[in-house]
Copies of this chain bind each other. A is one copy, B any other.
């Protein structure tokens, strides 16, 4: 994960932070490569191997290792749980991609495209079970609490995906409902990654709850940044089509805010809704026109403000955690690099 110099906070040197993050990432890659994916059932496990080698930032499992380390635990002790979380995340991507009919993930063919839909359903199921197999390896006394949090989170992620699908066919989605959806679909998993690492690292209950709330706010900010980058990113590093959300009428914070604000300005509302409902259109023209409407209502700045509210709330929660300030630097830096990603 590349860190920008501007995100540095004094303390550990930037090099030391980078080294630590690289070490954590290598631990994750090694852990993933050692998974017992039988060669016998290749039809079942080949798609899993494929998905796990598509890459990705490994943000979630790295957060688990960081949280364990933060409270004085050995990151190795949290590795199984971290791998379990990465498996869970990838399971959810494989099944979501079927549901969303997505042809590409990280610029490569999705499992249901490369194999077929049945393969994607079944190897996704197997990945979810493998996730539990890893979670079950945490120190025995901690299994009940970690399993409870993991189960609760996994169910919330399903609820989030269901809401996301419901929103596609609804014309009545409020900003509050959208924020509730991304909390379930994205934020609680980041929160759980951190809390699970904290539990393995013997954090106090209070601190475990603080880091959970930190993660939730960080996750909300992260998703809002994703919404912004989809429209305003100049680079296409993260493998998505620019304006993809606009083209597919995805009800992001930006679109919902524009719909809300244009209610008071009928001709802008009409322009927006004409593009949204257009059965046929030139994609570039649609992206340009809707971006123009966003600019008119200063939607980007509004999204940025909302993002910063969550970001600062997250930082305040991190501040409250009762460990030495210099130990928090890695999390501050990583959060900054994730949320203040350059446009």
Residues in A lying within 8 Å of B, measured CB to CB:
38, 41, 43-44, 95, 98-99, 118, 121-122, 124-126, 128-130, 132-133, 136, 140, 143-144, 147-148, 151, 154-155, 158-159, 161-163, 165-166
Contacts and interface: CB of A to CB of B under 8 A. Distances in A.
Contacts of A147: 132, 136, 143, 147
B99 A44 contact: no
A44 to B, nearest CB: 4
A152 to B, nearest CB: 8
B122 A158 contact: yes
A161 B122 contact: yes
Nearest to A128: B128
A45 to B, nearest CB: 9
Given A44-B159, A151-B129, A158-B44, A121 B144 contact: no
A134 to B, nearest CB: 9
Contacts of A162: 41, 43-44, 122
Given A144-B143, A165-B118, A158 B129 contact: yes
A122 B144 contact: no
7 contacts: A44-B162, A95-B125, A121-B121, A125-B128, A129-B151, A132-B132, A132-B151
Those 3 A-B pairs whose CB atoms lie nearest each other, nearest first: A44-B162, A99-B118, A126-B158
A211 to B, nearest CB: 22
